[in-house]
Amino acid sequence: FELFEPIERKYLSEISRAFPEFSVEISPESGVESVRREQGRPYGNFELEKTIENAFNLGASRFDVFFMIGLPSQTRETVMHTLAYIEKLSNRFAGMGEFHPFIFPLTPFLDPGSLAFEYPERYGYIKYAETLMDHYRLIEHGRSWRDFLNYRTVALSRDDIVDLTYESALRLLE
């Protein structure tokens, strides 16, 4: 089950009764509540953790939590805070079931047609490609996924997004 916000124990109990084997995923985007709220996810870490706890206590075999790198109001510090939060969650839910946190960049493109693509300055992005041909050129002339990114944020350069992605991957592996 993919959740778009934390849910009540009662609803998770109904899922558990209907599906004895179930897994859950949610995308809070950031471990920093203020960054998360700016992404349209107006809930706190307490509610997120309560949902994970309830899901495992009611029989969920797996819980995936997706975080992102390259959000408009993110900084290196907020990404590091998210990594610390992932570690906290991993420790808290160790042994309760399969807990899988992920952190990835928004790649390779801001989605054409999205509000962020159409109004990048309003949402904290700087675009490098507008047309289909612009995007084609990014891919054709790029040497790595860094070159394919059609955006950066006001606070994070393309290099920052790439560096934070690899640093985050290494931290998660640890």
- Encode pLDDT of 34-81 as tens digits: 999 998 899 999 999 999 999 999 999 999 999 999 999 999 999 999
Summarize pLDDT for 102-118 with one digit per residue, the tens: 999 988 899 999 999 99
Q: Are strands 125-127 and 151-153 parallel, antiparallel or unpaired?
A: antiparallel
22 phi and psi, to 5 degrees? -145, 155
On the question of pLDDT at 145 being above 90, the answer is yes
Whether the per-residue pLDDT at 131 is higher than 90: the answer is: yes
- Structure letter (DSSP) for residue 87: H
Q: Is the pLDDT of residue 139 over 90?
A: yes
Instruction: Catalogue the long-range contacts made by 120-127 (C-beta closer than 8 Å, 24 or more residues apart).
Output: 120/151, 123/72, 124/72, 124/73, 124/153, 124/154, 124/155, 125/72, 125/151, 125/152, 125/153, 125/154, 126/151, 126/152, 126/153, 126/154, 127/151
Statement: residue 136 has pLDDT above 90 = yes
**Residue 54 burial by Cβ neighbours in a 10 Å radius (0-12, 13-18, 19+):** buried
CB 85 within 8 A of CB 45: yes
Please tell me the pTM assigned to this model: 0.91
- In Å, what is the CA distance from 147 to each residue of 29, 33, 113, 120? 23, 30, 21, 19
Residues of the chain above pLDDT 70, percent: 100
Residues 6+ apart with CB under 8 A from 80: none
Q: Whole-number mean pLDDT of the chain?
A: 95
What confidence tens digit (pLDDT) does each residue in 1-25 have?
A: 999 999 999 999 999 999 989 999 9
- Taking the C-alpha atoms of residue 148 and residue 151, their distance in angstroms, rounded to an integer, is 9
Confidence of residue 157 (pLDDT cuts 50, 70, 90): very high
User: What is the model's pLDDT at position 106?
Assistant: 84
